Structure 1
Amino acid sequence: MAPTVRFGTDARGHRHRVGRRLLATALTLLCATATALVSTAAPAQAATTAGIDVSHWQGSINWTSVRNSGIEFAYIKATEGTSYRDPRFNTNYVAAYNAGVIRGAYHFALPDRSSGAVQANYLASNGGAWSADSRTLPAALDIEHNPYGAMCYGLSQAAMRSWISDFLATYRSRTSRYAVVYTTTSWWTTCTGNWTGPWNNHPLWVARWAASPGTLPAGAPYWSFWQYTATGSVSGISGSVDRNHWNGTRARLVALANNA
């Protein structure tokens, strides 16, 4: 996710990470200097709940060890655009559930490739559906800096707002749930023009690798999830992993999972 796993394609067609930490630095600087923002981060609740997000870049994961280390939830990459399914999604999604980890799927958006509706349907048909089983979160839309080209995918702010609205409405129609929206404040400011549209219903997952979530996207009253580092470590995973907080207790996260 992003600033999380980013992909490029080499001459052999293999997908690989590109420039995560350089991008993270740039995004942090942008966030620090943004002046046109109108919403600030609310304090975290007394209890926060530990989580991670993963893709096939984490390799084979021992989900029992992950759960025993105190990780309560995980967002797992399912899809990207309309032509890519993460090769470890099915394994991770089932194994996380069986280990007692509350799991959700996420979709890396490519708004220049197809409509929001097409990509929402692709996600819902490839692992991003929802069931009220106490361990399945609504899927997340990962909408952020374009790792393949222009930051805003060549879309105007109005066109980006329409694309996001199309995705969110279609996902809700397919699943009955309001998707989580993962983004950075700097990207949201630049590419949507401080749009406040989603935050009445859609949980905000803000990415900021720092000591606090900082200023939130315009209109967001609080953060629900916060990705605070991309270099975390967790038992059961070899190498670094994105670490996250849920802004509340596990019981409240179960309530979100069950649409309660």
Structure 2
Amino acid sequence: MAQGRLEPPTLDPPTLDPPTLGSRARIAGAALAAVLLLVLSTAPVALGHEGPGFAGSSGTAGPHGAPVVAQPPPGSLPGIDVSHWQETIDWSQVAASGQRFAIAKATEGQTYVDPMYVANRAGAAANGVVFGAYHFARPDATPNDAILEADHFVDIAQPAPGDLIPVLDLERTGGLTQAEVTAWILAWLGRVTERLGVRPMVYTSPNGWEQRTGDSTAVVGAGYTTLWVAHWGVSSPRVPAANWGGYGWTFWQYSDCGSVPGIQGCVDLDWFAGTSFEAVTIPLPDRTPPVPTLAPPGGVARPVTVSFGEVVRGVTVGNLVLLRADTATPEETELTCRSGKGLVVDCLSGNVRTVLVQPREPLIPGQTYRAAVNPPGTLPLIVDRSGNPAPATTVDFAAPTELEQDSAAVAYAWRTVAARDALGGSYLAERSAGAAATFAFPGRSITWYTVVGPDQGRASVWIDGERLGTFDQYAPRKEHRVARSFTGLPRGDHTIAIRVLGTGSSASSDTLVAIDGFEAGGRRIATPELALSWGTVRAPGASGGSVAASDGKRASVELTFRGTGIAWTTVRGPDQGRAAIYVDGALVRTVDNFASEPTFGVVRTVSGLAEGVHELRIVVLGEARGKATGTFVSVDRFSIVP
């Protein structure tokens, strides 16, 4: 092997022919080399930093300076592997000596760069020697070490079409277990595959693989079928991992101390098992464009999913768009890009395989939309790693026309109560269990301004999905602008939810909960933008097992849709009252949902509208016929008429 510092070796026993005069000399030479290796291995070494590692430096491939096997394997080609230990190389002499390929060290660990890599690459290329690069692995338990080492290698080595596929040289464990080393190897190989589009090969000795991975077949089982085995001084190498999953060896480092013209001192000698490097060469530039597949969303608030057949980059809201098909008006969207492993990556520079196109606002039920990749006239374009642009691709789809009461397209409003002492001269109120008011805010604290009084009930408060407490709003006398403060939140954006429990103290006359305003980020907001819901009533006879209900006078529900009509599925019963139905701001009719017995699946239809976008608004009137026990209005579902 090339001269360098060695760690104490664990040697593969050499396999020797029966003794002859010549073989006795080789045995004696091997014994002497083993003694020298033992002396070197007990000397002080400096392996606590990156740099000294090279292919074979662990010493597990055989005795240093083992005899060179004279007979090449049938149908093989000769080559070498080098690092900075060979210093300056005369590549013209190397090529003239018949060496067909060379694999050079490029990097080690997370930061080290072999100082001779650039010169070795240029010299080999200038003299027609097929070239490849290897990374000397320094596994450790720090987060993402394998990914960082892989990125370092790709960034420095810059393997290019026509090069041999890249190499992972595994000769260290960094204190990891065999299972952890195997996982590290797969992570490194996977990252390089993701970035380059080719599967690297692995360099190891049989003993080294057994010691470091337990002779695992997981790597070849994952599709990394190319092995560069190091086994010196033998007529045929022993191949680990069940003959590398039946694939055998592709490259064989058979000596660490050969002599090649143009190189001073020892150099590693290798065979390639074949006469053509095509199967182990990075292919020429890809001329095939990446093919996008667009999947419509599964609901009005779900994303369009765009998948690419290979890694792409340069994804923006300009070249991956969602439009209204009739007007070509773009919708505001947010993009989430993911790698082939499902990890979130940067849409511009990451290895993107899938993009989620999320509308900022719910889609309009019944409206036809168009999702488009690289629409005409757009620059820059989405491209693959070779710069091939994805073809302009579109898919048209209609937003759903069947909506349950809890669809994101359905907007609820609570009763508005005028009050001179309220923050904005009024506040919102709801009494039905399950009703909720949600508010998004920035900062580390928030104050909810509410109302207490003899008709107020209980509410629970949640921030970012965590329940912070239950509050009884009852008080003998009504009081406005009552502050409930929540502090000590982490920096960033948050969401507070006030949920009506539909219960109150024994002294309370009602179960009302009031939202007067909020204070967050140094601002007091008297009329906050809220996401509101009505109470939830479980009902086996309802289409989805529940309905939304409110009896708050002037509480309302709104739905923007496209079509010629709409059917509102509601409930009739003894506690149901009257509602007014408006379309595009005009009163269509008033309905009375009282019935002596509960009846589900009651349909109220508005039809005969001009085809287009319309707005439905249903208002709770807070009144009912004399026999009724309540004034509730219920929403079960909506159906859009095209």
User: Which TM-score tier does this pair reach, normalised by the shorter chain?
Assistant: 0.7 to 0.9
Q: C-alpha distance in 1, partners of 2:272/2:95?
A: 15
Name the SS of the counterpart of 1:9 in structure 2: coil
Given residue 60 of structure 1, which amino acid in structure 2 is its aligned partner?
Answer: T
After superposition, give the CA deviation of every residue in 1:59-117 in whole Å (9 maximum; x if it has no partner).
11111110110000000010000121010100111110111000011100000275211
Q: C-alpha distance in 2, partners of 1:16/1:77?
A: 11
Aligned residues: 230
CA contact (8 A) 1:54 1:241 kept: yes
Name the SS of the counterpart of 1:126 in structure 2: helix
**Structure 1 residues 203 and 259 mapped into 2: Cα distance closer, same or farther (>3 Å)?**
farther
**Structure 1 residues 54 and 234 mapped into 2: Cα distance closer, same or farther (>3 Å)?**
same
**1:127-146 pair list within 5 angstroms:** 127=157, 129-133=158-162, 136-144=163-171, 146=172
Name the SS of the counterpart of 1:218 in structure 2: helix
CA contact (8 A) 1:226 1:245 kept: yes
Q: Could you tell me which residue of structure 2 aligns to residue 247 of structure 1?
A: 273
Q: Which runs of 5+ in 1 are unaligned?
A: 30-43, 147-151
Deviation at 1:46, TM superposition (A): 2.8
Q: Could you tell me which residue of structure 2 aligns to residue 124 of structure 1?
A: 154
Q: C-alpha distance in 2, partners of 1:246/1:76?
A: 15
**Structure 1 residues 259 and 49 mapped into 2: Cα distance closer, same or farther (>3 Å)?**
same
**Structure 1 residues 15 and 175 mapped into 2: Cα distance closer, same or farther (>3 Å)?**
closer
Q: C-alpha distance in 2, partners of 1:196/1:10?
A: 29
Q: Could you tell me which residue of structure 2 aligns to residue 153 of structure 1?
A: 174
Q: C-alpha distance in 2, partners of 1:103/1:163?
A: 26
**1:151-190 pair list within 5 angstroms:** 152-190=173-211
CA contact (8 A) 1:120 1:167 kept: yes
Q: Could you tell me which residue of structure 1 aligns to residue 234 of structure 2?
A: 211
Given residue 78 of structure 1, which amino acid in structure 2 is its aligned partner?
Answer: A
> Which of the residues 280, 283, 287 maps onto 1:256?
280
Name the SS of the counterpart of 1:239 in structure 2: coil
Relative to the length of structure 2, the TM-score reads: 0.34
After superposition, give the CA deviation of every residue in 1:168-202 in whole Å (9 maximum; x if it has no partner).
00000010111110001111112111211222433
CA contact (8 A) 2:178 2:212 kept: yes
Q: C-alpha distance in 1, partners of 2:227/2:95?
A: 24
Q: Which runs of 5+ in 2 are unaligned?
A: 7-44, 64-71, 285-642
Q: C-alpha distance in 1, partners of 2:169/2:50?
A: 21
Q: C-alpha distance in 1, partners of 2:47/2:241?
A: 37
Given residue 118 of structure 1, which amino acid in structure 2 is its aligned partner?
Answer: L
Q: C-alpha distance in 1, partners of 2:279/2:130?
A: 11
CA contact (8 A) 2:2 2:265 kept: no
Q: Could you tell me which residue of structure 2 aligns to residue 64 of structure 1?
A: 92
Q: 1:226 aligned to 2:252? A: yes
Relative to the length of structure 1, the TM-score reads: 0.79
CA contact (8 A) 2:79 2:270 kept: yes
Q: 1:9 aligned to 2:49? A: no
CA RMSD of aligned residues (A): 2.8
**Structure 1 residues 233 and 183 mapped into 2: Cα distance closer, same or farther (>3 Å)?**
same
**1:64-103 pair list within 5 angstroms:** 64-103=92-131
**Structure 1 residues 6 and 110 mapped into 2: Cα distance closer, same or farther (>3 Å)?**
farther
Q: C-alpha distance in 1, partners of 2:159/2:51?
A: 28
**Structure 1 residues 4 and 185 mapped into 2: Cα distance closer, same or farther (>3 Å)?**
farther
Q: C-alpha distance in 1, partners of 2:90/2:96?
A: 10
CA contact (8 A) 1:207 1:213 kept: no
Q: C-alpha distance in 2, partners of 1:258/1:48?
A: 20
Deviation at 1:214, TM superposition (A): 3.0
Q: C-alpha distance in 1, partners of 2:2/2:188?
A: 21
Q: C-alpha distance in 2, partners of 1:113/1:67?
A: 42
**Structure 1 residues 28 and 16 mapped into 2: Cα distance closer, same or farther (>3 Å)?**
closer
The structure whose residues are more often strand, as a share, is 2
**Structure 1 residues 175 and 113 mapped into 2: Cα distance closer, same or farther (>3 Å)?**
same
Deviation at 1:212, TM superposition (A): 2.9
| Residues 85-94 or 194-203, more deviating | 194-203
Given residue 273 of structure 2, which amino acid in structure 1 is its aligned partner?
Answer: N
Q: C-alpha distance in 2, partners of 1:183/1:246?
A: 15
Deviation at 1:56, TM superposition (A): 1.1
Name the SS of the counterpart of 1:119 in structure 2: helix
Q: C-alpha distance in 2, partners of 1:109/1:138?
A: 16
Name the SS of the counterpart of 1:189 in structure 2: helix
Given residue 46 of structure 2, which amino acid in structure 1 is its aligned partner?
Answer: T
Q: Relative contact order, CA 8 A, sep 6+: which one is greater?
A: 1
Q: Indicate the percent of aligned positions where both proteins have the same amino acid.
A: 35
CA contact (8 A) 1:4 1:242 kept: no
**Structure 1 residues 17 and 108 mapped into 2: Cα distance closer, same or farther (>3 Å)?**
closer
Stretches of 4+ aligned residues off by more than 3 angstroms: 2-11, 13-18, 26-29
Name the SS of the counterpart of 2:85 in structure 1: helix
**Structure 1 residues 53 and 100 mapped into 2: Cα distance closer, same or farther (>3 Å)?**
same
